[in-house]
Structure 1
Amino acid sequence: MDNPHPDTDPDTDPATSTGLGPFLRSRRERLTPADVGLSSHGRRRVPGLRRDEVAALAGVSTSYYVRLEQGREARPSRRVLDAVARALRLGEQDTRRLHGLARPAGRRTTSPARVERVAPHLRELIDSWTGTPAFVIGHAQDMLATNPLAEALYADFGQCDNVLRMLFLDPVARTFYRDTDRAAYRAVADLRQAAANTPDDPRILRLVGELSVRSAEFRSLWARDHIRVPYEVKRVYHSAVGVMELRHEAFAVRSAPGQQLVVLQAEPGSPSADALALLGSLGARDRARDS
């Protein structure tokens, strides 16, 4: 990661002797929106980045970051601190300083990674829907299970592993989604909600860090305020069958909090339904050939 500002000398930097808050403010104020890939419109009332922008780039809620900067967050995890360091473009020395100021000697906290598994009965259910693409995503929008028709639908992507990685890192997304901007906005809004609910979650922090480094579009969207938009009919393009209009519905899996069952449906008797049927037959033929 590029570091627009080198580490400062601890012997001459006043922030090192006055606590975490001044240290964070000094690092925040020396960055410009352009340094982190954000656009800036009009005159800004504060120097550098705003608190909400740092929070968004770090994948935590604004209130959480405010508490951290004010010294009122007693148990920040190492992963959260690393995410804040990435957001502030800290070098190695300043990152160590951040950890030292936020986590005095003798206090160590860890946040175990969440292991997400799809229940066998749910896998059996989606596999039984031979004419409907369906899949299960986790709290960070990892693709946990897909039925054969969903696999065929997303076959043009290099890897069907995470909704956001597919949207922002795979160039196929620009062809597959006929309204890529809306799809990206919805996915980021959902991730922002998950990050607000679990600000210490290691999977979300790791994903936000990766996407912030690799996608300027994601960095810009992540720093905005988002209002959740309703699921609706999506227009997608598949190289084998062309354009389809599919209604997108998502259902919370009550037996596994954070998981969602996503179902894509075509209007019965429509050209999209015919295209889905063709896609299913092509996928079945390919599986038979490979078996």
Structure 2
Amino acid sequence: MANHNELGDYLRARRSQVDPTAVGLPGGGTRRVSGLRREELASLVGVSVDYHTRLEQGRERHPSSHVLDALARVLKLGPDAQRYMRAIAAPKPASRASAGNPTPIASHLLKLVGDWSMNPTVILDRRYNIVAANQLGEALFSNPANVRNIVELLFLEPAGRELFVQWDAVARSSVAALRSAAAYMPDDAELNEIVGTLSIGSPTFSALWAQAEVREKTSGSLVLMRPEVGKLQLEYTTLQPNGADDVLMKVYRAASGTETEERLLMLGSLTADGPGAASHTDSVPAGQRGPQAQRQGARHPGCVSACLPALGVRSVESRNREVTTSKKRNNDLLHPTTSQPLA
């Protein structure tokens, strides 16, 4: 994701997705490239072909706001995609979060989340690492490999295929949401590593990433299959805690009087306060995470833990350990023991 010409790569990817007839150009005929030709986009935007060529090649680094507005109009970019394009066109200094200093989650927020016994809730950083969750939130996304990044769970773990019932739709929307993080966290090293790991481990992720869709997940529905209780049909809303633009809070709910509501009650009782409950799991040591490393090795012989550092990509296991450390600190507040009072 981080490269010397991110804007140029993005413009090429997005013009390949535009139907020429949708912007008033004649259809039919033989086209050597999908979408718009470079000269067609330049004409529609109102710039010279030479200028647009320099933009795509990275030789022009400072497009005006007027040019960016025109590009957004022709490429039919939504608000999230426009925010992303402007962020990569004029990168700002690294934020506190992208510099490796995540904003601390307020203790009162963690306590509030812990009190929502019928609403599974997870707090994510913008890389989609779970950094805190209440009991039901932990239960929803628990998995045998203890993967703490939802996108990695989706694409790299067999459990992800089983968990997300509408896998194709969730996969597409998750890739678009992960890319949108760059608008808030330019040149974030860990985000780059996550994208690198996913690109190596999943051809499907790599293909979706190349389409350069950008869309945040603000609300919607999600269907999960939990082996303990069966299918859960949920709605979710994404909230932004004040003063913490590097974390997101996703709150899930079941419609009143439905089977899902009953199943959530059952899931809560099955995972409450017992040994091995999802809210208290520790990171799985390297070598004990299951078949993911073997799958990556099959696609890239000799390139599991050995080749990732050479690409500047840490292993999923090393990031899981870091995320789990942060998550355990938050769980001290979400799930206090009798020897650790709330106040």
Do they superpose with TM above 0.5? yes
2:223 is paired with a residue whose SS is strand
Query: Equivalent of 2:274, from 282, 286, 289?
Result: 286
Deviation at 1:72, TM superposition (A): 4.5
Contact 2:154 2:171 (8 Å CA) reproduced: yes
Please give the per-residue CA displacement for 1:113-163, whole angstroms capped at 9, x wherever unaligned: 332232222211111111211011112111111111111222235224111
Contact 1:167 1:173 (8 Å CA) reproduced: yes
Hey, what's the Cα distance between the residues in 1 that align with 2:207 and 2:235? 28
* Aligned: 1:187 with 2:164: no
Hey, what does 2:263 align to over in structure 1? 275
1:181 is paired with a residue whose SS is helix
Hey, what does 2:141 align to over in structure 1? 154
Please give the per-residue CA displacement for 1:6-36, whole angstroms capped at 9, x wherever unaligned: xxxxxxxxxxxxxx99xx99xxxxxxxxxxx
Query: Equivalent of 1:198, from 176, 182, 185?
Result: 185
- TM (norm. structure 1) is 0.61
Hey, what does 1:4 align to over in structure 2? none
Residue 67 to residue 205, structure 1, CA distance change in 2 (3 Å): farther
Contact 1:177 1:183 (8 Å CA) reproduced: yes
Hey, what's the Cα distance between the residues in 2 that align with 1:201 and 1:140? 9
Query: Equivalent of 1:172, from 134, 137, 159?
Result: 159
1:233 is paired with a residue whose SS is strand
- TM (norm. structure 2) is 0.52
Hey, what does 2:206 align to over in structure 1? 219
Hey, what's the Cα distance between the residues in 1 that align with 2:209 and 2:272? 39
Contact 2:179 2:214 (8 Å CA) reproduced: no
Contact 2:118 2:264 (8 Å CA) reproduced: yes
Deviation at 1:70, TM superposition (A): 2.9
Residue 232 to residue 121, structure 1, CA distance change in 2 (3 Å): same
Structure 1, unpaired ranges of 5+: 1-19, 26-41, 51-65, 75-108
2:225 is paired with a residue whose SS is strand
Aligned-residue Cα RMSD (Å) equals: 3.4
Hey, what does 2:252 align to over in structure 1? 264
Query: Equivalent of 2:101, from 115, 120, 128?
Result: 115
Hey, what's the Cα distance between the residues in 1 that align with 2:56 and 2:146? 37
Q: Amino acid of the residue matched to residue 206 of structure 2? A: R
Hey, what's the Cα distance between the residues in 2 that align with 1:120 and 1:209? 33
**Matched residues, percent identical?**
29
Q: Amino acid of the residue matched to residue 253 of structure 1? A: P
1:198 is paired with a residue whose SS is coil
Residue 184 to residue 148, structure 1, CA distance change in 2 (3 Å): same
Hey, what's the Cα distance between the residues in 1 that align with 2:223 and 2:126? 25
Please give the per-residue CA displacement for 1:50-102, whole angstroms capped at 9, x wherever unaligned: 9xxxxxxxxxxxxxxx758434459xxxxxxxxxxxxxxxxxxxxxxxxxxxx
Query: Equivalent of 1:139, from 111, 115, 126?
Result: 126
Residue 73 to residue 200, structure 1, CA distance change in 2 (3 Å): farther
Q: Amino acid of the residue matched to residue 181 of structure 2? A: A
Hey, what does 1:29 align to over in structure 2? none
Contact 1:244 1:272 (8 Å CA) reproduced: yes
Hey, what's the Cα distance between the residues in 2 that align with 1:225 and 1:238? 31
Hey, what does 1:252 align to over in structure 2? 240
Structure 2, unpaired ranges of 5+: 10-29, 39-53, 63-92, 281-336, 338-343
Residue 256 to residue 153, structure 1, CA distance change in 2 (3 Å): same
Q: Which moved more, 1:147-156 or 1:221-230?
A: 221-230
Residue 237 to residue 203, structure 1, CA distance change in 2 (3 Å): same
